[in-house]
Amino acid sequence: MSINQNRRHFFAGAAAATATAVAASAVSRVAMAALPEPVLQARPDTMPPLAPSTGRPYKPVVTLNGWTLPWRMKHGVKEFHLVAEPVVREMAPGFNANMWGYNGQSPGPTIEVVEGDRVRIFVTNKLPERTSVHWHGQRLPNGMDGVSGLTQPAIEVGKTFVYEFIARRPGTFMYHPHADEMTQMAMGMMGFWITHPKARHPLIDEVDRDFVFLLNAYDIDPGSMTPKIMTMTEFNLWSWNSRVFPGIDTLNVRKGDKVRIRMGNLTMTNHPIHLHGHEFVVTGGDGGPRPMAARWPEVTTDVAVGQMRQIEFMADEEGDWAFHCHKSHHTMNAMGHDVPTMIGVDHRGLIKKLQKAVPDYMVMGERGMADMGDMEMEIPENTAPMMTGTGPYGSLEMGGMFSVLKVRKDQRPGDYKDPGWYKQPTGTQAYEWTGALPEPARPGAEKPNLSTLPPGPATEVRIRKPAGHSGH
Ligand SMILES: [Cu+2]
């Protein structure tokens, strides 16, 4: 089947899914009462933590640009209802994407339970194709592992399946389909899962703030809305919870808070996540909490494909601290790949000639890429600017996997509101030197005398510059 035929089926399927949604509402109320009513979320904002109303108490997490799924307690079982369906996700203000997700958003809602809870999850498939849900990292009966074809038949379009197991070990987990995975994850189907410890755990500290998000990536051409599902490695949007900077909310904390950040990587490459101004320790991963002897201070931790990492630190330095992936092309939004390096090339004469033919023509990268930050160049509608976001001192020249940890002494406990930009106290900020500049001393005297060196073999050196970014 050609790609074009696939795409046609894809959209025909989407129409079929809408028809299914209408049909579902015709099901009798009695039949529907057997299932918890699915809760949908329309907004991409960071929702306040969801305090547990029933069951064992715990301190809830905060999902960056996301939310936690409410449950109902039925005869001592926590019941959740996930609906797999097409959604429109706002990836950044002014930039929407057609995705697949759960309960109105991509990623799906975070599921929070307590160690020892019996959990029942209803999964309704409103996608145009079959699916399943795999509970990544959990101890559970084999038949609940959600691998379609291996541990269960796939959930066909319009069907609802039930997963049920006891959350046996506390930790940081995620969920995603194990059916047509490349398509369904490229379309945004994934979510976070936290199992809180049932009592004080020697390796799990209590924290004041506990943030969670998934690392994900999409390939959406500038000006279009639907991810290219045939893409395997060459993604052009690097996101946290399907948001790109400046669409990613800041992490707002009180000075002196103990902070935990949990991340899971469902992209197809690794991400060295870097925090400014503080050292953190990696306190756990997919396999559970780390033994104390395996914890040491870091400022960057690499999160490999399919891994979860939880980091913890004391937020004891006030300010606005950058928090981002350290692969520099992951802090940029969609762009063309085949751009030569133009630094130092003076093409003023050429531009004039070109602008006669193409009035809007603009050269990229003559003084680096910083011009892209406050670019006036026209971009297609529904496109996230490549490097953007404005701080108190101008353009940040960032996109993609970038956010800010805001540490304030007057941020109230439990308050997650953005406190605005930090005002550096007088005398604590880099400033312009306006005095005289002395000639720098150059090490000219130590230059080797080339004429006294023995002649080397005559070798022709060819420099081949890398083209494209394969292998990142
Ligand atoms: Cu990255």
Burial class (CB in 10 A: 0-12, 13-18, 19+), 157: middle
Query: Hey, what domains does the chain have and what are their CATH numbers?
Result: 40-208 (2.60.40.420), 251-408 (2.60.40.420)
Q: Which residues pair with 215 in a beta bridge?
A: 240, 265
Cα 306 to middle of ligand 1, angstroms: 13
- Identify the sign of the CA torsion 112, 188, 178, 260: negative
Q: How far is the CA of 435 from the centre of ligand 1 (A)?
A: 41
User: How many A from CA of 328 to the centre of ligand 1?
Assistant: 8
Q: Which two tokens stand for residue 318?
A: 């006030």
Using the mean position of ligand 1's atoms as its centre, give its distance from the Cα of residue 401 in Å: 7
CA of 34 to the centre of ligand 1 (A): 43
Ligand 1 centre to CA of 57 (Å) is: 35
Query: How far is Cα 162 from Cα 137, in angstroms, rounded to an integer?
Result: 19
CA trace torsion 213, 251, 400, 326 (10° rounding) = -90
pLDDT > 70: what percent of the chain?
77
Give the pLDDT mean for 420-438: 93
pLDDT in tens, 269-301: 999 999 999 999 999 998 999 999 999 999 999
- More confidently predicted of 221 and 192: 192
**CA of residue 216 to ligand 1 center, whole Å:** 9
CA of 326 to the centre of ligand 1 (A): 6
Give 351 Cα–ligand 1 centroid separation in angstroms. Answer: 35
What spacing in Å lies between the alpha carbon of 472 and ligand 1's midpoint? 9
Q: Which of 194, 193, 190 is CA-nearest to residue 218? A: 190
What's the gap in Å between 307 CA and the centre of ligand 1? 13
Res 119 pLDDT > 70: yes
Based on the number of CB atoms within 10 Å of its own CB, is 74 exposed (0-12), middle (13-18) or buried (19 or more)?
Answer: exposed
> Which residue is it, tokens 């547990």?
52
Q: Is the pLDDT of residue 351 over 80?
A: no
CA–centroid distance, residue 387 to ligand 1 (Å): 15
Percent share of the chain, pLDDT over 90: 62
User: Is pLDDT larger for residue 305 or for residue 450?
Assistant: 305
Q: What is the pLDDT of residue 160?
A: 96
Q: What pTM does this model have?
A: 0.80
Q: 228 C-alpha vs ligand 1 centroid, how far in Å?
A: 19
Q: What is the predicted pLDDT for the residue at 23?
A: 39
How far does residue 82's CA lie from ligand 1's centre (Å)? Answer: 29
Give the integer Cα–Cα distance in Å for 258 and 273.
19
Dist. CA 409 → ligand 1 center (Å) = 31
- For residue 194, the cross-strand partners are 112, 172
Q: What residues have a C-beta under 5 A from ligand 1, the ion?
A: 271, 325, 327, 330
Question: Residue 174: what residue type?
Answer: M
Q: Check if the beta carbon of residue 56 is closer than 8 Å to that of residue 117.
A: yes
| CA 297–ligand 1 middle distance (angstroms) | 21
Confidence bin at 398 (pLDDT 50/70/90): confident
The mean of the pLDDT values for the chain is: 84
